[in-house]
Structure 1
């Protein structure tokens, strides 16, 4: 019951928040304000909406039932989508951080064109698909081992155990470690840049406005980092415990822990629009 209540709250707040974010970015784009950033924000909101409306219900139902109730066809359609949506969301967050870094450290450089921003968003989607290829290739629907409780998972050949270990490390690297290091590095570089140039800021109205804008960017990046770590790290720890630890991933206790970790990761989708609308 508690899981259902929390999931519904995340669904409502996340869906509403991301719709508001999309509406806000459309309004700003029509006014020709921050058009490049708005494309990235709209892309992020779309990924988060897909996570909330598709990934979250399907994943939580499977976690709680301990089996796949949606049939063979939907197994091969839906199984890899969570990784695509999560990858797209994470990579878009990294792109937004990079764009904010560019605006602070190189304010005089020409801004990205709308067309280039759109191409970057398409590139993010293609990279997200590339990360998901192992799930697509090795997805399997098993209704023979437990006919009344079919499973939808992946079965890596020729060595499933080794394949699972490699894939968990691969996903952790692509969707957590590398994005964290990259975004954290940008944060450190921005802080260093502001520290070095703090005495060069012209004490005028424009200078004070620039300083305030940069301070907001630094705060936004710090919040992004904290939210990213707190929302995604528990889920990756859960995956590592299932593959490398002595835990049986099919027990009810583990699936309950996995469900909680999934819910924590979905909080990211509800918090993202609040952060970006605020800053």
Structure 2
């Protein structure tokens, strides 16, 4: 059921400003992920299975930046969509695909890191690039299968482009949409937290946690978890509160419903912008995840080079640290 929009033009404009997608998110996301894809494609050779996962994460973020200009114009216009229902659905699909794809690939990266550190002799760690590509294709198919229904959403108001406030036929489309929205965050979050906690326990058990390199790696893992949580958790919690509030006032009149949801809706627009920010932050994650990527990036930007990649002897002694730095 779509909540009727009873706000006046000034209130709609204010709402749009609060949900505004800043140009910095688009610029840094587009340039950062474009540079990352360029480095992955033309400068990192040979690829490893971890490289495949990083490349696909960058692809998921790059797809978001294709849709951001349209989304930004929608917010700037005061929640007023001017490009028709078909393009609205495509835009919403791109946003949903990025959200699911980014979460799934971050989950896969965490699982890959966990296996290399906690179970270094498992045969999955010697996975070939071709098999890693098949695994990435499977994650894309999973993400698409969970978001493809967005392309069929229909809104009774052609100027409104919101996936959670649309009239849908059949009605169970929204049930699946809600499930996909929650599943694509909470399942990856559980896997990422499980992998991170067990990596820390494993390294502390081997008394490696005091080593300077290990400290940096553990700090990096914590940053990855923090970025994932900050970018995705607020919008998920807010959306859950909206659903709970909507169900509690479902039998009341439209004016009462709108009044009850006004603050939560404003909060949701703000928190969803944190989700968009994820695509601008991921290139920073790539930069600090590997000395190889960092040196290539600095060379491409004509900056002074950092220390070269560690020697083979050092890498052998610091296997735990090296594995962690692969993100």
Q: Calculate the TM-score normalised by the size of structure 1.
A: 0.78
When structure 1 is superposed on structure 2, of 250-259 and 116-125 the one drifting more is 250-259
How far off its partner does 1:12 sit? 1.6
Aligned length: 259
Of the three residues 119, 123, 142, the one matched with 2:138 is 123
> 1:67-106 maps to which residues of 2 (within 5 A)?
67-106=80-119
How far off its partner does 1:83 sit? 0.9
In structure 2, the residue matched to 1:61 is 73
Contact 2:62 2:279 in 1 (8 A): yes
* SS at 2:258 equivalent: coil
How far off its partner does 1:177 sit? 1.3
> 1:218-229 maps to which residues of 2 (within 5 A)?
218-229=218-229
Pair 1:170–1:128, CA change in 2 (3 A) = closer
Contact 1:18 1:273 in 2 (8 A): yes
Q: Which runs of 5+ in 2 are unaligned?
A: 1-15, 247-256, 290-327
Pair 1:37–1:150, CA change in 2 (3 A) = closer
Of the three residues 128, 133, 140, the one matched with 1:113 is 128
How far off its partner does 1:183 sit? 0.4
Q: Which structure has the larger Rg over C-alpha atoms?
A: 2
In structure 2, the residue matched to 1:190 is 199
Calculate the aligned-residue CA RMSD, in Å: 3.3
Deviations 1:123-178 (A, max 9, x none): 111000111144234x11435xxx7x455644345657xx6466435412x22211
1:273 aligns with 2:298: no
Contact 2:20 2:75 in 1 (8 A): no
Pair 1:187–1:4, CA change in 2 (3 A) = closer
How far off its partner does 1:191 sit? 1.4
How far off its partner does 1:257 sit? 3.4
Pair 1:249–1:241, CA change in 2 (3 A) = farther
Deviations 1:18-66 (A, max 9, x none): 2232233335532x2x522222111111111111231x23334334533
Deviations 1:189-243 (A, max 9, x none): 11121122227x9xxxxxx9xx666544433321111111111122123322333
Pair 1:212–1:21, CA change in 2 (3 A) = farther
When structure 1 is superposed on structure 2, of 268-277 and 179-188 the one drifting more is 268-277
